């Protein structure tokens, strides 16, 4: 029996009508004779509502209990989804993470999947049932529910595809696929047919919300291709696939642009120019699990000091500033926070050997009189930090400059 | 370690503030050095909301999936309750029915507890933790969640008290205890200090909402005393206890009155007076699990026919009428439904040998010009059906006539 793994995100199952539409797709797939496993997220805003409830009961809720609480959202999702399949005449059965054999370990609220024992799922598939599996959760050694953190349902889908050896999984959400740029900002933005894992990972790092880096990494290392598509439209979306063997064609390619306005720039200014200082500063951040991107250390000034700057998500800004403040005090330095910034990135391949990609970005921004605060470039991504107010203009100008709107 | 089993109903944990107040009571009990097990219901209207959601997805939702869905209500309850205990500095851990070792069998949505394996609970109690257990649910042989039907959380509490050999359990709800009559109707109604299981069972049958008959039966057969009390007040409630050995005092006693306006009277009229007819009629109802009370068959008329009447909950009326209609057709009889009726009952002991109890009821109703439609009397209960509009007058008059307002 060939098996399809489908995953429906929270917006795809936000209300009974949407659940019914999603269930129709699962039933149609089953009627083609395939085994169907559906990973379901918590409907709509349920997770946020439960979180609010928890915070009203306890300002800093215990994490084991938070997992026990939050996991009910997905349990509601799978049972409603199964009911909808059954109401359409298809056999179906729902499984919590525990029932589906999803084993997790690590700290509560951010656990990892260790393995999936798919015996229960396979038995039900062979009995002809659509199996709905609660995303975002597993059972740990202590017999407690452990949730997988952000993007956890995507991770469940990828891990199931790997355990069931399907080679791929379908991720249904409210976006139609991966675009050359955000189509709400760039009118000519084009949906990509396929994209390599590495590029998608860079896009996630550049602020694309389509998929979390974690699931992409697991998918890449287990060889699971991902079809990102819309729950509300029939047409195919974007396939995220292992890197194609294109070592012969040493051509640079820009695949897509991303604009991220959800980060702030933090700088620690006038730190002494001696070995180990950068490590000291970064370890302060690492110890608190603060995500950073675009770390830059300036060349030392004549006064023997330099600056270290980086980008961090807006939600982490105050925590990061606090952490830096104590380090700064010891180093006799000071901390600057720039809130009104945007990160604009070009993602693709072969950038290192083809400096025209970077050059064209700088030229285009200059032509539009947009000042660049920071630059970081790798083989797969070039990111510039600009004033927030210039973000959208920059995105449109670069989309034209790289010719992304034309079909290739 | 001495163990206390407490159960908080849905209205006692309806919002974060109420959960915090309930948690305070559990924490206070723990600080006395006792092991504390708390059975928690689904907060407020959560079960009804989930049920509505299910019906919007599928008009007749699959029952296995409905159990998977509804059990999340109690899971939300236990995790929030544990968080509130932890926030107050007490160690606590929540357990679903499965985690707590509650084994169930029987049809989904109305399963029964087979046994509880309390090893997990005992381990956590000995580690000093307050253990919150999801009421209303267990795990069946197939590894699926099975819910226990109405009053299921009380049942969980009683079964836990039995498995943990505590001898008693405390049932917290929005009522202060068992009263001689509904205090919203009878101003002088008095809270009873203690009451026998048999009397409480009769009160439940007579329409008292304080506890379901199922839990009382299990409590009686396992020797678990129940303390029914308010979640919002400190004073003791009513103890429901095994019958005291009072065979020496052959005195009749009326303990309490109940008024039930949630039942209707159904009659099948002009059925042939031959053996087996009553059984035929009742088996039609039994086959459909329709609850009945006060079955009465009239003496045959000169035409060789008679009437069979009974009371059934209003919610079952149309189903019962439908079932009777087909039986009536075969018997050449007809079905009458009387909707505007009320059942008024006196509950106590020794009625059979003390006819003054029944006589006083009939006299009192006659004095108040209240016509009696039906009468059923046993040793522990006398029930009369009267017009609905007379129900409250009858209740007040009888409360005075039996002297229930005075302290005994």
Per-residue pLDDT of A35-67, as tens digits, reads: 999 999 999 999 999 999 999 999 999 999 999
Please judge whether A69 and B61 are an interchain contact, meaning their C-beta atoms are less than 8 angstroms apart.
no
- Our CA-based measurement puts residue A380 at a distance from the nearest CA of chain B, in whole angstroms, of 45
Backbone torsions φ then ψ of B289, nearest 5 degrees: 55, 30
Q: Tell whether B86 is within 8 A of chain A (Cβ).
A: yes
Cα nearest neighbour of B50 on chain A: A76
Cα–Cα distance for residue pair B215/B232, rounded to 1 Å: 23
Cα–Cα distance for residue pair A83/B54, rounded to 1 Å: 8
Please judge whether A58 and B99 are an interchain contact, meaning their C-beta atoms are less than 8 angstroms apart.
no
Q: Tell whether B61 is within 8 A of chain A (Cβ).
A: yes
Please judge whether B79 and A65 are an interchain contact, meaning their C-beta atoms are less than 8 angstroms apart.
yes
Cα–Cα distance for residue pair A291/B366, rounded to 1 Å: 82
Please judge whether B86 and A19 are an interchain contact, meaning their C-beta atoms are less than 8 angstroms apart.
no
In the prediction, which pLDDT does B245 show?
A: 53
Question: B304 lies in a domain?
Answer: no
Residue bearing the bigger pLDDT, A378 or A135: A135
Pairing label, strands A168-173, A3-8: parallel
Structural contact between residues B324 and B284, judged by C-beta atoms closer than 8 angstroms: yes
Per-residue pLDDT of A311-363, as tens digits, reads: 999 999 999 999 999 888 888 889 999 999 999 999 998 888 888 888 899 99
Cα torsion angle, A271, A277, A279, A280, sign = negative
**CA B153 vs CA B103, B137, B214: distances in Å:** 14, 8, 11
Cα–Cα distance for residue pair A160/A149, rounded to 1 Å: 17
- Our CA-based measurement puts residue A56 at a distance from the nearest CA of chain B, in whole angstroms, of 6
Contacts of B140 in chain A (CB under 8 A): none
Contacts of B71 in chain A (CB under 8 A): 75
Q: Which residues are within 8 A (CB) of A201 and not within 5 positions of it... i.e. 6 or more apart?
A: A213, A216, A217, A220
DSSP label at residue A205: H
Q: Tell whether B79 is within 8 A of chain A (Cβ).
A: yes
**Under DSSP, is residue A223 helix (H, G, I), strand (E, B) or coil?**
coil
Cα–Cα distance for residue pair A87/A81, rounded to 1 Å: 10
A59, A62, A75: residue with CB nearest B68: A75
DSSP label at residue A243: P
**Is-above-0.90 flag for pTM?**
no
Question: A162 lies in a domain?
Answer: yes
CB neighbours of residue A307 within 10 Å: 18
Cα–Cα distance for residue pair A377/A291, rounded to 1 Å: 18
The model's confidence at residue A76, banded by pLDDT at 50, 70 and 90, is very high
Per-residue pLDDT of A109-155, as tens digits, reads: 999 999 999 999 999 999 999 999 999 999 999 999 999 988 899 99
Cα–Cα distance for residue pair B362/B219, rounded to 1 Å: 34
Please judge whether A94 and B53 are an interchain contact, meaning their C-beta atoms are less than 8 angstroms apart.
no
Q: Which residues are within 8 A (CB) of B7 and not within 5 positions of it... i.e. 6 or more apart?
A: B38, B39, B40, B41, B135, B153, B154, B156, B157, B169, B170, B171, B172
| Whole-number average pLDDT of chain A | 92
Q: Tell whether B185 is within 8 A of chain A (Cβ).
A: no
Mutation for testing the B interface, residue in A21, A58, A99, A147 having most B CBs under 10 Å: A58
DSSP label at residue A316: G
B58, B72, B75: residue with CB nearest A86: B58
Cα–Cα distance for residue pair B76/A145, rounded to 1 Å: 13
Structural contact between residues A110 and A165, judged by C-beta atoms closer than 8 angstroms: no
Cα–Cα distance for residue pair B201/B151, rounded to 1 Å: 14
**CA B26 vs CA B5, B97, B225, B228, B231: distances in Å:** 10, 19, 19, 16, 11
Cα–Cα distance for residue pair B87/B31, rounded to 1 Å: 15
Domain encompassing residue B160:
3-174
**Under DSSP, is residue A207 helix (H, G, I), strand (E, B) or coil?**
coil
Nearest to B253 by CA among B156, B114, B351: B351
CA angle A231, A236, A242 (to 5 degrees): 110
Structural contact between residues B394 and B344, judged by C-beta atoms closer than 8 angstroms: yes
Cα–Cα distance for residue pair B123/B100, rounded to 1 Å: 11
Please judge whether B61 and A50 are an interchain contact, meaning their C-beta atoms are less than 8 angstroms apart.
no
Question: A285 lies in a domain?
Answer: no
- Our CA-based measurement puts residue A64 at a distance from the nearest CA of chain B, in whole angstroms, of 8
Structure-block tokens of residue B217: 């039966």
Question: B328 lies in a domain?
Answer: no
Looking up tokens 């003054």 gives B356
- What is the three-state SS of chain B? CCEEEEEECHHHHCCHHHHHHHHHHHHHHHHCCCEEEEEECCCCCHHHHHHHHHHHHCCCCCHHHHHHHHHHHHHHHHHHHHHHHHHCCCCEEEECCCCCCEEEECCCCCCEEEEECCHHHHHHHHCCCEEEEECCEEECCCCCEEECCCCHHHHHHHHHHHHCCCCEEEEEECCCCCECCCCCCCCCCCECCEEEHHHHHHHHHCCCCCCCHHHHHHHHHHCCEEEEEECCCCCCCEEEECCCCCCCCCCCEEEEEEEECCEEEEEEEEEECCCCHHHHHHHHHHHCCCCCEEEEECCCCCCCEEEEEEEEEHHHHHHHHHHHHHHHHHHCCEEEEECCEEEEEEEEECCCCCCHHHHHHHHHHHHCCCCEEEEEECCCEEEEEEEHHHHHHHHHHHHHHCCCCCCC
Looking up tokens 């598509």 gives A229
Using CB atoms within 10 Å of the CB of residue A163, give its burial: 0 to 12 exposed, 13 to 18 middle, 19+ buried. buried
Q: Could you tell me what percent of chain A has a pLDDT over 70? A: 98
Bridge partners, A211 (sequence order): none
Per-residue pLDDT of A162-181, as tens digits, reads: 999 999 999 999 999 999 99
**CA B237 vs CA B176, B178, B224, B256: distances in Å:** 6, 8, 16, 15
In the prediction, which pLDDT does B159 show?
A: 97
In the prediction, which pLDDT does A226 show?
A: 97
Cα nearest neighbour of B72 on chain A: A72
Q: What is the DSSP string of A125-167?
A: HHTT-EEEEETTEEE-TTS-EEE--TTHHHHHHHHHHHHTT-S
Question: B53 lies in a domain?
Answer: yes
Mutation for testing the B interface, residue in A20, A63, A80 having most B CBs under 10 Å: A80
Q: Tell whether A50 is within 8 A of chain B (Cβ).
A: yes
Question: A137 lies in a domain?
Answer: yes
Cα–Cα distance for residue pair B95/A97, rounded to 1 Å: 16
Residues listed for chain A:
408
Please judge whether B66 and A86 are an interchain contact, meaning their C-beta atoms are less than 8 angstroms apart.
no
In the prediction, which pLDDT does A408 show?
A: 46
Please judge whether A53 and B96 are an interchain contact, meaning their C-beta atoms are less than 8 angstroms apart.
no
Tell me how far the alpha carbon of residue A151 is from its chain's centroid.
6
- Say what the ipTM of the complex is: 0.82
Structural contact between residues B10 and B46, judged by C-beta atoms closer than 8 angstroms: yes
- Our CA-based measurement puts residue A227 at a distance from the nearest CA of chain B, in whole angstroms, of 27
Q: How many domains does chain B have?
A: 1
Backbone torsions φ then ψ of B382, nearest 5 degrees: -125, 125
Q: Tell whether A231 is within 8 A of chain B (Cβ).
A: no
- Our CA-based measurement puts residue B132 at a distance from the nearest CA of chain A, in whole angstroms, of 11
CA angle A380, A386, A387 (to 5 degrees): 155
Cα nearest neighbour of A73 on chain B: B72
CA angle A250, A251, A255 (to 5 degrees): 135
Task: For chain B of 408 residues, list the mean pLDDT of each consecutive stretch of 10.
Answer: 96 96 97 97 95 95 97 98 98 98 95 96 98 97 94 95 97 94 93 92 87 90 95 95 63 89 92 82 86 82 82 92 89 92 92 86 93 87 93 96 79
Contacts of A120 in chain B (CB under 8 A): 143
Cα–Cα distance for residue pair A345/A354, rounded to 1 Å: 16
CATH number for position A68:
3.40.1160.10
Please judge whether A65 and B96 are an interchain contact, meaning their C-beta atoms are less than 8 angstroms apart.
no
Question: B219 lies in a domain?
Answer: no
Residues 127-156 of A with CB under 8 A from B: 143-144
Cα–Cα distance for residue pair A194/B121, rounded to 1 Å: 52
Structure-block tokens of residue A61: 């809720």
Q: Tell whether A377 is within 8 A of chain B (Cβ).
A: no
Instruction: List, in sequence order, the alpha helices (H) in A223-341.
Output: 277-287, 317-331
Cα–Cα distance for residue pair A372/B388, rounded to 1 Å: 82
Question: B25 lies in a domain?
Answer: yes
Q: Tell whether B42 is within 8 A of chain A (Cβ).
A: no
């Amino acid at each position: 029996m060939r098996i399809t793994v489908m995953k429906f995100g929270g917006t795809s199952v936000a209300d009974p009508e949407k659940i019914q539409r999603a269930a129709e797709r699962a039933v149609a797939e089953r009627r083609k004779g395939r085994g169907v496993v559906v990973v379901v997220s918590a409907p709509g805003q349920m997770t946020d509502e439960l979180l609010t409830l928890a915070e009203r009961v306890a300002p800093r809720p215990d994490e084991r209990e938070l997992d026990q609480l939050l996991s009910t959202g997905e349990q509601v999702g799978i049972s409603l989804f199964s009911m909808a399949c059954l109401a359409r005449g298809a056999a179906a059965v729902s499984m919590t993470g525990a029932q589906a054999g999803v084993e997790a370990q690590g700290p509560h609220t951010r656990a990892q999947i260790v393995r999936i024992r798919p015996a229960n799922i396979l038995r039900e598939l062979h009995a002809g049932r659509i199996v709905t599996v609660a995303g975002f959760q597993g059972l740990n050694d202590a017999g407690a529910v452990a949730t997988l953190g952000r993007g956890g349902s995507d991770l469940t889908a990828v891990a199931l595809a790997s355990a069931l050896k399907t080679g791929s999984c379908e991720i249904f959400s409210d976006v139609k696929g991966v675009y050359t740029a955000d189509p709400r900002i760039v009118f000519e933005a084009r949906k990509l047919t396929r994209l390599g894992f590495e590029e998608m990972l860079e896009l996630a790092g550049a602020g694309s919300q389509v998929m979390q880096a974690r699931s992409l990494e697991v998918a890449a290392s287990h060889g699971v291709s991902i079809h990102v598509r819309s729950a509300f439209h029939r047409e195919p979306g974007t396939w995220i696939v292992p890197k194609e063997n294109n070592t012969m064609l040493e051509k640079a390619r820009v695949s897509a642009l991303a604009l991220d306005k959800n980060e702030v720039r933090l700088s620690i200014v006038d730190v002494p120019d001696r070995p180990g200082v950068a490590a000291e500063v970064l370890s302060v951040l690492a110890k608190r699990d603060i995500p950073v991107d675009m770390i830059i250390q300036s060349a030392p000034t004549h006064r023997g000091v330099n600056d270290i700057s980086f980008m961090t998500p807006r939600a982490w800004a105050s925590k990061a500033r606090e952490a830096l403040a104590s380090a700064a005090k010891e180093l006799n330095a000071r901390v600057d926070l720039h809130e009104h910034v945007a990160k604009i990135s070009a993602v693709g391949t072969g950038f290192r050997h083809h400096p025209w990609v970077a050059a064209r970005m700088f030229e285009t921004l200059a032509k539009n009189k947009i000042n660049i605060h920071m630059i970081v470039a790798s083989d797969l991504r070039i990111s510039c930090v600009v004033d927030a107010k210039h973000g959208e203009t920059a995105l449109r100008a670069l989309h034209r400059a790289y010719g992304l709107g034309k079909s290739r």
